[in-house]
Structure 1
Amino acid sequence: MIDFYRFKNLSNEPGCMHAVTKKDPNEPYALSLALHTGEALDEIVANRQKIISELDLSEKAYFVVADQTHSDHITVITEAATKGWEALEDAVADSDALITGLPGVMLVILTADCVPILLCDRKKKVVAAVHAGWKGTRSQIALKTVAKMVEVFGSDPADILAGIAPSIGKCCYEVGRNVAKHFFESPEALKQKGEKYMLDLPAVNHHQLRKAGLLESNIELSGVCTACEVDSFFSYRKEQGCSGRFMSLIGLKMED
């Protein structure tokens, strides 16, 4: 039985399906789901298939994975086709946010400390998955993804639910001035520690979502730090360069 983390707000939305995977010591590579980190491809693909089985997704479901590059590039998925699920070669190129209005298409983000953000427009029936490391956060990818939902689908930000998934927290994310300087306009997200700073990336992304027009009541923060909860989630920082990645997924359910 594979365990998942789930958001209350997204779980209460009947047309939306989402999940955030956790580590499982009983599975190969503790249930890492990354194809790009050098593990045996067949075992990682088998892990991914276990996720499909555990989520009880129909055979009609498609899975879309991007080649994440710490950019602010956003891709709107307009074709019901699986990409990047069994091989890197057909992943969505150079993209850190995916948006779709197609039922049965699951959007996938892989992380091990960066901030995964799942979005669902309840009215227009549109979902998005965002990967926000410090570079993507600096480039305001969360805000830009909401803007793209407005531009392409006519979304009203007030109708969008957001889940900010487990990621490294202010308690553990120590950065130098070269990174911290990009967030000096958000002093509440920084705490100086000698010549270093403790950076709160989830808080910065939360602020961006509010700036984009989301209602405070529609944004759910996991409050889980991957470095503190390293038994449950992969943490690149805590594990000193681990190759494992966990997966955040969101999609619209197929209509019966």
Structure 2
Amino acid sequence: MPISSRLFYSPPIFHSFPELIAGESTRHGGVSEPPYASLNLGGSTQDDPEHVAENRRRFYASLGIEADQVASSHQVHGSEVWVTDQPGRQQGHDAVITNQPGVFTLVTVADCTPILVYDAGTKAVAAIHAGWRGTVAGIVAKTLQTMQEQYGTQPKDCYGYVGTCIDECSFEVGADVADHFISDFKRWDETREKFFVDLKAANAQQLRDFGMPEHQIGISPYSTVLNNQDYFSHRLEKGLTGRMVAVIGRK
């Protein structure tokens, strides 16, 4: 499915829910200039703040939502979950959950894995940011457990999307990182004498371990590195690049 020129990618796993708005931004359709070209949504970058504001306006408009409906947090690569019934901005959380319509949970990424969850039973949603530290800390599992405690979420009712991030063949790491992952999610490359870690697989497994049915899990076919023409990659672009977001909520 070509995504060139589109402001966002809509995960097919959620298409059967007309009440839901869910998407992850691309790098297309904004006003930012290189190296942030063009739909940079990251306020922590050195991009022109007016460009970022206009990009956000365009992105939200493309989804049919307003900026003041969004719930997000300054992320710290941890495993704290913000439970909210209203929009706003917090500090120190890497996941946001709500069961309120009109509140859209959002996370920011540029190689880390965004995970979106919809509980079709209780109508709760979650947006999760999982870098390698958050993945190892089990942030997906912790978020789902929090949804169960707060809203009574049941695994059979959940639909999950593991979003676009750095792919396994591009995520080269040393033993200091690889040692945190079980063998299922890492590969030793004899030629490069480096490990390669699969963040998508590691986070998808946390959805399965919660009991989410396999056919209710979607995984992005895209990579921030291999599809860099469509997505920002912090690693490939050596830190000088924009940021994407992933968002989910009920109308």
Flag whether TM exceeds 0.5 (same fold): yes
Change (3 A) 1:60 1:246: closer
Task: Find the residue that maps to 1:238 and give its secondary structure.
Answer: coil
Residue of structure 2 in register with 1:76 after alignment: 83
Q: Deviations over 1:112-160 (max 9, x none)?
A: 1100000000010000000000000000000111101100000001111
Deviation, structure 1 residue 2 = 4.1
Unaligned runs of 5+ in 2: none
Residue of structure 2 in register with 1:250 after alignment: 248
Residue of structure 1 in register with 2:94 after alignment: 96
Query: 2: CA distance between counterparts of 1:167 and 1:2?
Result: 18
Task: Find the residue that maps to 2:74 and give its secondary structure.
Answer: coil
Unaligned runs of 5+ in 1: 84-90
Quick one: which amino acid aligns to residue 93 of structure 2? S
Contact 1:234/1:242, CA 8 A, preserved across alignment: no
Contact 1:11/1:17, CA 8 A, preserved across alignment: no
Q: Identity rate of aligned residues, in percent?
A: 33
User: Any runs of at least 4 consecutive aligned residues in structure 1 with deviations exceeding 2 A, and if so which?
Assistant: none
Contact 1:176/1:196, CA 8 A, preserved across alignment: yes
Residue of structure 2 in register with 1:47 after alignment: 55
- Match status 1:10 vs 2:6: no
Change (3 A) 1:33 1:26: closer
Change (3 A) 1:10 1:123: same
Query: 1: CA distance between counterparts of 2:99 and 2:68?
Result: 14
Normalising by the residue count of structure 2, what TM-score does the alignment of the two structures yield?
A: 0.92
Most deviating of 140-149 and 47-56: 47-56
Contact 1:173/1:200, CA 8 A, preserved across alignment: yes
Aligned residues: 241
Residue of structure 1 in register with 2:131 after alignment: 133
Quick one: which amino acid aligns to residue 163 of structure 1? Y
- Match status 1:190 vs 2:198: no
Query: 2: CA distance between counterparts of 1:245 and 1:115?
Result: 12
Deviation, structure 1 residue 237 = 1.0
Aligned partner (choices 55, 63, 76) of residue 70 of structure 2: 63
Query: 2: CA distance between counterparts of 1:26 and 1:234?
Result: 13
Residue of structure 2 in register with 1:21 after alignment: 25
RMSD: 1.5
Query: 2: CA distance between counterparts of 1:144 and 1:182?
Result: 17
Most deviating of 109-118 and 27-36: 27-36
